[in-house]
Amino acid sequence: MPKPTLRRRPFRGFISAYTAPLLALAVIILIVPNANAAQITISSSDGQPLENAVVEIYYTSEANPPQEENIYQRDATFHPKVLTVPSGSHVAFPNQDTTRHHVYSFSPAKTFDLNLYLQETPPPVHLDQAGIVVLGCNIHDHMQAFIVVSDAPYAATTDAEGILTLPALPSGEHRVRVWHPRLDDSQQVWWEGIITDTDQLEVRLELNALPPPAPTLSPLQQRFKDAT
């Protein structure tokens, strides 16, 4: 009786001229497709789930309409840590702390500067260019957050388990991009690959950027936090 032959599945990753030098940053594992909706799981190289990883999927579709969103400040922290919006959206920055904040960004996708304010929320910022907007506070150096402005038909972030269940996709193969704040210090590196409408896709990222230090509250801020 002849021995069974093991059949290897062909590699389905997409490598562009831009991503070829970045192969060391990510490893992709494709699990056998099934009839369920497509799903993507993002983890670090040691298998730890990555929350707030941004997933973009490109296919033929109308552009997403602009949105109006908030990133608020509480306990000297931005909430949410990562926000994904379509190009043309407006984002406001309400201050829910008892101390003033000075929100700014020097990112090429959007440069702005919201001078010291407390309860008087400045007008929303218009994000008209796709890219990653890195947020900071001139008063609290540890504060950092990110807005991913996307032109993709679909863009969303993973949950605490690093999982994102995708909506119904057109049949066939589609370009997919993945970004995480700790993927690279420049905040400009994306992993790229291919996904179909039924794939269960797992992506493991080699994280190079160091996590930000934990915020240190002043005694007054700590007392206020304990009281609430």
**Residue 73 belongs to some domain of the structure:** yes
Same domain, 161 and 135: no
Helices (H), the chain: 219-227
Same domain, 78 and 180: no
Q: What is the CATH number of the domain that holds 81?
A: 2.60.40.420
CB 82 within 8 A of CB 61: no
Confidence (pLDDT) at 3: 45
Same domain, 30 and 78: no
Q: What is the CATH number of the domain that holds 193?
A: 2.60.40.1120
Q: What is the mean pLDDT of residues 90-116?
A: 96
Q: What is the mean pLDDT of residues 3-7?
A: 40
Same domain, 183 and 128: no
Reduced to 3 states (helix: H, G, I; strand: E, B; else coil), residue 92 is: strand
Same domain, 146 and 82: yes
**Residue 166 belongs to some domain of the structure:** yes
**Residue 170 belongs to some domain of the structure:** yes
- Per-residue pLDDT band for 46 (boundaries 50, 70, 90) equals very high
Domain of residue 187, residue span: 20-61+155-205
Looking at residue 55, its amino acid is: V
Give the pTM.
Answer: 0.78
pLDDT at 207 over 70: yes
CB 67 within 8 A of CB 191: no
Distance, CA of 201 to CA of 165 (rounded, Å) = 10
Overall number of domains in the chain = 2
Same domain, 29 and 94: no
- Give long-range contacts, CB 8 A cutoff, 24+ apart: 68-76: 68/92, 68/124, 70/94, 71/135, 71/145, 71/147, 72/96, 73/97, 73/101, 73/103, 73/137, 73/143, 75/215, 75/217, 75/221, 75/225, 76/137, 76/140, 76/142, 76/143, 76/215, 76/217, 76/221
**Residue 219 belongs to some domain of the structure:** no
* Percentage of the chain modeled with pLDDT above 90: 69
Looking at residue 159, its amino acid is: D
Q: What is the mean pLDDT of residues 27-54?
A: 78
